[in-house]
Structures are given as structure tokens and as C-alpha cells.
Structure 1
Amino acid sequence: MPNRKEYLKQLLSKDQWTATEQEWMVEYLDANDFSELETVAAEYFEADLLTAKHILDKRLSDRMLNNIHQRIGVTDSSFKGIFRLFKHKAAAAAAVLLLAGAAWYMLLHDRVKQKVFATTSERQTVKLPDGSVVHLEKGSSITYPEVFDKKNREVILKGEAFFEINHDAKHPFIISSSLINTTVLGTSFNMEVHEGNAARVVVVSGMVQVNTREGKPHKNGQLVLTANKSAVYNPASQDLLLQDGTEDAIFFAQKMSGKFIYRGDPLSKVATDLQRYYNVPVITDQKSAQCRFYGSFNTVDDLEKALALIAFSLDARVKKDNINKGYIIVGGNCR
């Protein structure tokens, strides 16, 4: 995130905020630390207090004032005189901006955006207003309006999700996040964004455009991905790189189909897929790593059932790894 003070200046100079900017402002106000906001107000409105009044959108002023009145418990008459309590223009300007921020805070929450969280123990599937489907991973969330607007279909993702987007050329589907934004017309792909880690988009079918966040310096700020391609954004170096995503695309395609099928794949790869899908450590010893596995398991099966099938087919053993709270596949007769 750029300097919060500078970012607030950018936001307050705009007539409209994007969904991501609105989400950022809500989080900022929730933190209950308005020090940067006060500084911005003092600087921005140093010349004349009357300028501060323009920060309130005229179309929303009545509703804002009503919300502010209810929030701070003043009547219309007392509100008109509230600025007389301040002897200095800078202090009065800061108060105006803080009240405007409070109004924005309430308005943003009043827009009835539904936030769906995946629980810590289960994945969650969400159907969006346009019929598109989002498969959320554990601990992830998506924010979206009850009805998409006339220009585009915009959602906010935190964490990881697989998207199956209905085609609509007139209304691009935009996924905003803290690191990258992704624009699609109709496709299936996986997107993963975790604070402090690299962000990744893997396309299974169709085409998507990936952009770094506006205002951030970068060497390559935009990529267009087709099937089996991946974009990786490193927040430390701020590089957006194109990579081969074939293996990842196969994983996500099988995951969505509900069945993982192996035709002589190394057991080490099978173990990696199991660990990735169940979020539980699964490793092999040196002997079993190169064993070839022929078989399948359904995504509705629990991990122990899948491991039992592997052990039976390869005459191997499955040991519990108490240190890492996972499993180790050992031994086995490789064919």
C-alpha cells in the first residue's frame, strides 16, 4: 500500500471511487486512526473552510447529513453551528473531512454488498448475480453487489478462488484485489492473492487480462493470458511475470471436475496434489517417490481414503507425521 496520506489525497480528489477504493476506505475508518485524514484536511483546506463543503457530493448530501446527525446525535440547527466551535480554519476543515469520512463509511455499509467468507474448515461455492460461480478456498472471501451495475461486473477477492465466469462481452468481469486486478469476459481460472506473498492467476480456459494495481511502479504492468498460462506478481520486486501454467491448469481442471485421475504419474506428484487439495502435509520417502501410480480418487473422499487406496495399489505403508501433522508414504513395490 502506498503512503496512506498520499492515497487519501488521491481518493478525496476523485468524484467516484472504485469498489477496491471503497473497501480500503471502510478498512481505514474501521481502524479508528484518523491522524492522516486530519493532516490531509489541514493541508488541503488551509486557504478557505468553504472549500471543505465541496467534498460532500451534492447528490448525497442530504442522506449524508442525516446519517451524520444520527451518528453524532445533533439536530439540524446544532449541526449548522457546529463549525463555530472551532477557532481555527484548519481544525474546522479537519472536522468536516472526518464527518465526510463517517458519512462515506455509513454509505458504503448501506450499499448492501454481501461478503461471503469461506470457513476455516470448509470450502464454499458462491453463485453471483450474473450466474457466474466462484469456488472459494478456506479462509478466503469475496465481496460483490446484489446487482451488478450497467458497465461491468466487479468483485473483490481476498485469498484464493476458482472462477467460472459467464460470457458477457458488454459487461467485463473485474476482480479487484490488494495486489492485482483481473479482467475477463468469460472463462475459467484460478486466482490467489495473499498479503505478503506472490499473487497468481492460472487460466484453465478462455482468456484473461491481468494488471498490477494502479499507481504502483512495475516493469511489466499488464499481461494477457490464454489457457495453460499463468501470471505471477511479486509484491517485493513489483514484477508481473508470464509463466507456463500447464500443471496448475490440469490440477484445477481435475479439482473442479470432482476427480483426480492418474495414469502412471510419479507418486511424488500425487502426494503434492493431495497436500494441495486437502491442505495437509503429504510426503513420500525416497523409495516410493518415483513409484508410478495408476488410479483415481474423488474430491468427496476424505484424505485417509485416498491414502489407503494408494497404499493398497503399491503395497506401501502410510505413517502419520506427528511433527508436521501430516502423512508419509513409505516403501511400496514399484512397477
Structure 2
Amino acid sequence: MQNRKEYLKQLLQQKEWKQEDRDWLLQYLNENDLTDLQEVAAAAYDNELQSADPVLEREHSARILEQIHQRISVPTVPVVRSIWSVRWKVAAAAIIILAAGAGFLSLFRKPVKQLLVTAEKQRKTVTLPDGSMVYLEPGTTLQYSGNYGKEDRNVMLTGEALFNVQKDDAHPFIVASSLISTKVLGTSFNMEVRGNSDAKVVVLTGMVQVAAQGDHDQEGKKLILTANKRAVYNKTTQLLEMSDATDDARFYSQKQQGRFVYDGEELIKVVNDLQRFYNTEIRLDRRIQHCAFYGDVNIVDDLEKALDLIAVSLNAKIDKDKSGNGYTIAGGNCQ
């Protein structure tokens, strides 16, 4: 047998596989470290992207990856297909990279897992098989089993999402992550787990149980949260803390409804909401920070439309930074 890595490379390039090729690959997946396969797959994936377009933006790449997930989302993959297009094989290569090794083996044995990905500036609303709604924030990944709703209702989250969960006493809804997991029967809550930041859960309605990953069965290591409460997992101390989250719950609830409604709220609170939702810095003249603001902001509108509404109501001026990365609200009065 020739060098293993070269043989793997050859398999990915072939349009047609013989039975001996399939047998060899299945044996390799069962008996070997998958490092060689990951390296070959990564190179093939990079070459495919480069041949498609010399310069791909991150958001475009994320869309391509999402399409890859959709293309392989079939009920089961009992055997390796005998005829693969080059592009389909490159898609499989990307999945190998994401699976980080042995997880790829499940493609041959189990229903394919569903993987949802949002790009850096993309939000997405999805309906799970049981009717539960998930509102994915930018840069978020959500994964769940092809048997979701039949055997369990477990999902894996990286990033931030708001969940509106259908009640099912027989199948608790569990959101797992690298740091914490949240267990519910039927409720709505927001969960955020990103990089090196602390993990956070805010409950809008109902009740949830939050614990560090693996601690749900240990008394004294889990928190029960009701509406308008927050749990924060500190990565440094590895402790969970609970606090009031009335303002956060209002923000998430109105965002879910598609409209921020202000009835005499201080302008500084309005600006904080806009910064948070649009992920843009907005500087505010101190003289008008505590002015009362009355109005609605539709989340489908762009930020400048919302800022124009503020400017008109307070006779203020909106200046856009020369860099294009922020805004300043200056002048105006509370009359």
C-alpha cells in the first residue's frame, strides 16, 4: 500500500470508488488516527474555495459551509457512495474537519446530525422538529441529532440564541455548551456561550435549571431560574451566580417580537439597546442622556433610520464617524 496520506488524497480526487476503496476507508476510519484525513481534507477544501473565487469574505464562506451541511442532511448514510462529484467530496472534507476526528464515523452509522450556522452579520430564525423556535444571533452554531424529538431534545450551542421551547414532559429540552447546560420543559430563555467570555442564561418566561457542564445531577451545583432572572458562569472561579435580569429579559423579549418599544425611557437606555442589537458604537451627548424618549424601533429597519427618529424627537444631530464604524448624537434638548 502506498503512503496513506497520498492514498487518501487520491480517493478524494477519484470520480468513482471501487469496493476495495470503500473497504479500505471504512477500516481506516475504525482503526487509525484521523490526522492524515483531516490534513488532506483541509487542503482539498481550501483548494476548492480558491478555485471558486480568489477572495472570499468570511460571511460568504459561512454561507458555503451552511450549504454544505444542507447538502449532506439525508436520513442515513449506510455506505460510501460509489460515485461522488469532486465538489460533494470536498463538502465531505469540510465535515471531516468540523467533526474533529472520530465524530465523522457517525455519518456511516447514525442519522446525520443537523448543523445550523450563522455568519458574522447574519441572524436566523429556525423551527425545530418539535415546533420549538430558536433565534440565532450572528456567529452562532447550533447542532442537534437527526433523532431530535423522538429519543431526546438535546441541542449543542456555541454563540448566542434565544429559545422558545414547546412543552413536552416526556422529553426535557436540554441546551449543552462547552461550559454550562440548561434544562427545561417549556419556556423561553436566552443563552450565550462565546469564546473566552463567561456563559450567561436569561429567563424570559417559565423556569429552567442551569448547571456547569456535567453537574445537573449534583445537588448544590445547579440553579433554578424563573422569569427575569440571570445565571452567569464565571470561567475563572468555575462558579454559577444568579441575579436580577429584568432589563435583559425586556430586551430579549422585544427583540423576539421584532420591535423595541419605548414609553418615556431614558435616552441612554435606548442607545444601549441600539448598540447591543446593531453591534455598533454610539456616543451620546451628556446633556441629553436622561431625556425621555417615546417611539418604536422596528428591528428590520437599519440603524440610521432609528437614529434619525431620535434626532427628530430631540432636535439633535447625528454624525457618522469617518471610519464608518460608529455614530455620535450631539446637541438637542429634552423639551
- Equivalents in 2 of 1:30, 1:320: separation in Å? 51
Q: Is the 8 A contact 1:267 1:292 kept in 2?
A: yes
- Equivalents in 2 of 1:166, 1:115: separation in Å? 20
User: Do residues 105 (structure 1) and 109 (structure 2) align?
Assistant: no
Equivalent residue number for residue 321 of structure 2: 321
Counterpart code for 1:105: F
User: Do residues 238 (structure 1) and 241 (structure 2) align?
Assistant: no
User: Do residues 121 (structure 1) and 126 (structure 2) align?
Assistant: no
- Equivalents in 2 of 1:134, 1:147: separation in Å? 18
Query: Per the alignment, do residues 33 and 252 of structure 1 end up closer, same or farther by CA in structure 2, a change over 3 Å counting?
Result: same
* SS of equivalent residue, structure 1 residue 287: helix
Structure 1: stretches of 5+ with no match in the other structure: 1-28, 35-65, 68-100
Q: Is the 8 A contact 2:125 2:133 kept in 1?
A: yes
Equivalent residue number for residue 53 of structure 2: none
Equivalent residue number for residue 22 of structure 1: none
Counterpart code for 1:312: V
Counterpart code for 1:250: R
Deviation at 1:102, TM superposition (A): 6.3
Deviations 1:211-266 (A, max 9, x none): 101279x9962101000001001111111000101000000111111111111111
Deviations 1:156-180 (A, max 9, x none): 0000000010000110000010010
Query: Per the alignment, do residues 326 and 31 of structure 1 end up closer, same or farther by CA in structure 2, a change over 3 Å counting?
Result: farther
Counterpart code for 1:299: I
- Equivalents in 1 of 2:232, 2:276: separation in Å? 18
User: Do residues 176 (structure 1) and 176 (structure 2) align?
Assistant: yes
Deviations 1:78-107 (A, max 9, x none): xxxxxxxxxxxxxxxxxxxxxxx9665312
* SS of equivalent residue, structure 1 residue 240: strand
- Equivalents in 1 of 2:259, 2:36: separation in Å? 47
- Equivalents in 1 of 2:232, 2:250: separation in Å? 17
Counterpart code for 2:260: F
- Equivalents in 2 of 1:247, 1:31: separation in Å? 47
- Provide the identity percentage: 48
- Equivalents in 2 of 1:157, 1:248: separation in Å? 20
Deviation at 1:320, TM superposition (A): 1.4
Deviation at 1:299, TM superposition (A): 1.0
- Equivalents in 2 of 1:102, 1:212: separation in Å? 25
TM superposition score normalised by structure 2: 0.67
- Equivalents in 2 of 1:129, 1:31: separation in Å? 35
TM superposition score normalised by structure 1: 0.67
Structure 2: stretches of 5+ with no match in the other structure: 1-32, 39-78, 81-99
Equivalent residue number for residue 42 of structure 1: none
- Equivalents in 1 of 2:208, 2:143: separation in Å? 20
Query: Per the alignment, do residues 222 and 262 of structure 1 end up closer, same or farther by CA in structure 2, a change over 3 Å counting?
Result: same
Moved segments of 4+, more than 2 Å: 29-34, 101-105, 108-111, 149-152, 218-221, 321-324
- Equivalents in 1 of 2:189, 2:201: separation in Å? 7
* SS of equivalent residue, structure 2 residue 287: coil
Query: Per the alignment, do residues 103 and 227 of structure 1 end up closer, same or farther by CA in structure 2, a change over 3 Å counting?
Result: closer
- Equivalents in 2 of 1:190, 1:123: separation in Å? 14
Deviation at 1:287, TM superposition (A): 1.2
Give the 5 Å matches for 1:1-335: 105-107=104-106, 111-148=111-148, 150-214=150-214, 221-322=221-322, 325-335=325-335
* SS of equivalent residue, structure 2 residue 139: coil
Deviation at 1:283, TM superposition (A): 2.4
Q: Is the 8 A contact 1:219 1:238 kept in 2?
A: no
Counterpart code for 1:157: L
Counterpart code for 2:199: A
- Equivalents in 2 of 1:31, 1:197: separation in Å? 30
* SS of equivalent residue, structure 1 residue 160: strand
* SS of equivalent residue, structure 2 residue 170: coil
- Equivalents in 2 of 1:126, 1:30: separation in Å? 33
- Equivalents in 2 of 1:31, 1:247: separation in Å? 47
- Equivalents in 1 of 2:107, 2:214: separation in Å? 22
